[in-house]
Chains A and B, each alone.
Chain A
Amino acid sequence: MVRAMAILLLCQLAGTILQQATGLPVPGPVIGLVLLLGLLAWRGGPSESMAATAQGILKYLGLLFVPAGVGFITELQELRANAFAIAIAIAISTFLGMAVTGLLMQWLLRAQESVVPGQADAP
């Protein structure tokens, strides 16, 4: 548990150092995610304690958003002044993102699977 937590923090630390050193626009923890992914691929999978620790921390992922979310009270004026723009932007863009991803993914999967051998008619 402690070792797994230490590995998570080390990946985040390495990611943050890399981010600071290279000026990459990607947040340090995201680089840490990629580093851990590489580590897992190299080691052939997560150890039992890493799997349990990751599951434990991700189970309460929602809780971790709360402190930052409460910060909106410091932006109430900004939110109230732009409530209409924000509501329209979120509603339309969320629908659009969902529609584009869903339709394109379904179309690509169908195109891909229709050329799978066995279904293709040999000339």
Chain B
Amino acid sequence: MPHSILPFFHIWAYLQTQPLLGLTATLCTWELANWVDIRAGRKSFTNPVLLSILILAAVLLLTHTPYKAYFTGALYVHFLLGPATVALAVPMFNNLPAIRRDFFAIITALTAGSIAAAASAMLIAHALGAPDAVVISLGPKSVTTPIAIGIAQNLGGQPSLTAVFVILTGVFGSVICTGTFRWLHVADRRAQGLAAGTAAHGIATARMLTLNQTAGAFGGVAIGLNGIVTSLILPLLVRLLGL
């Protein structure tokens, strides 16, 4: 090994124990993923969250960096999930008039859809032989990530698995939403937005928002409400399924 490379290894080893590298890598990758997404015309499969995760995972695996070393820096971004969840109250408050007007319809349809999504996901995975930790981690996958991670943690699932399931659900939901509504003749914009937000949270809501403002607003309502409804219902559902 040439001597000139040696200092590099020292610096590398030092940086692995520091938060700087993980934090910088997270922000730079996010910027890169956004650039790609914009250049590709914001396709559903160029979702910047999915892209960033894949790029960073590839970098960690290729450089043999343990996730723990990365997370010492990424922790500072991760921590903001808590206040971000609380901040969801602001757009919810702005949509209160709409929620109040159709409250009965919203809460009924959302609860039914929420149970249908969570129960079917867990039942199918269980029937196909997935272990309990995976099955429980699938439960909150339709909920927006900060809330889903909290729920998975509380129920004994794997928060990191849940984070990936949530994003896969969002990407899948945003790909199928317009076709599903056409096929099932769901033409009401409020119903479309609520369904997209309930089944596939912010990623599908963002897709609906590009098509219609009303649909986007109801998607926003669904994200917040489904977070609350799922965190109340899922513990019961998990117990009912005997997990």
Q: Which of B2-10, B38-46, B76-84 contacts A (4 or more CB under 8 A)?
A: B76-84
Alpha-carbon gap, A28 to B231, bound state (A): 11
Alpha-carbon gap, A61 to B151, bound state (A): 18
Instruction: Collect the chain A residues with CB atoms within 8 Å of residue B48's CB.
Output: 62
B12 CB to nearest chain A CB (Å): 19
Any B CB within 8 A of the CB of A99: yes
- Say yes or no: A30-B93 contact (C-beta < 8 A), given A82-B125, A103-B184: no
Instruction: Collect the chain A residues with CB atoms within 8 Å of residue B92's CB.
Output: 33, 37
Chain B interface mostly: helix
Verify B163–A75 contact, CB threshold 8 A.
Answer: no
Verify B93–A37 contact, CB threshold 8 A.
Answer: yes
Verify B104–A108 contact, CB threshold 8 A.
Answer: yes
B105 CB to nearest chain A CB (Å): 4
Which A residue sits closest to B77, measured CB to CB?
A67
Instruction: Collect the chain B residues with CB atoms within 8 Å of residue A69's CB.
Output: 49, 52-53, 145, 160, 163-164, 167
Verify B184–A99 contact, CB threshold 8 A.
Answer: yes
Alpha-carbon gap, A35 to B112, bound state (A): 25
Alpha-carbon gap, A34 to B83, bound state (A): 12
The total of chain B residues at the interface (CB under 8 A) is 111
Which A residue sits closest to B61, measured CB to CB?
A73
Verify B121–A68 contact, CB threshold 8 A.
Answer: no
The total of chain A residues at the interface (CB under 8 A) is 73
Verify B120–A93 contact, CB threshold 8 A.
Answer: yes
Instruction: Collect the chain B residues with CB atoms within 8 Å of residue A63's CB.
Output: 26-27, 30, 49, 52, 77
Alpha-carbon gap, A73 to B202, bound state (A): 24
Contact of A68 among B60, B131, B149, B232 (CB under 8 A): B149
Which A residue sits closest to B48, measured CB to CB?
A62
Question: Binary interface profile of A, 51-95, with partner B (CB < 8 Å = 1, else 0)?
Answer: 101110110011111111111111100110010111011111111
B10 CB to nearest chain A CB (Å): 26
B225 CB to nearest chain A CB (Å): 10
Chain A interface mostly: helix
Contact of A67 among B78, B116, B228 (CB under 8 A): B78
Verify B200–A98 contact, CB threshold 8 A.
Answer: yes
- Say yes or no: A101-B129 contact (C-beta < 8 A), given A29-B150, A64-B78, A85-B134: no
- Give chain B's interface residues, CB within 8 Å of chain A: 26-27, 29-30, 48-49, 52-53, 56-57, 60-61, 67, 70-71, 74-75, 77-78, 80-93, 96, 102, 104-106, 108-110, 112-114, 116-118, 120-122, 124-125, 128-131, 133-134, 138, 141-142, 144-147, 149-151, 153-155, 158-161, 163-169, 172-173, 176-177, 180-181, 184, 186-188, 190-192, 194-196, 198-200, 202, 204, 222, 224, 227-228, 231-232, 234-235
The 21 listed contacts between A and B (C-beta, < 8 Å) are A25-B232, A25-B234, A36-B86, A36-B90, A51-B90, A58-B90, A69-B163, A70-B56, A71-B67, A75-B164, A82-B128, A89-B120, A90-B165, A94-B173, A96-B120, A98-B195, A101-B198, A102-B180, A106-B188, A109-B102, A109-B105
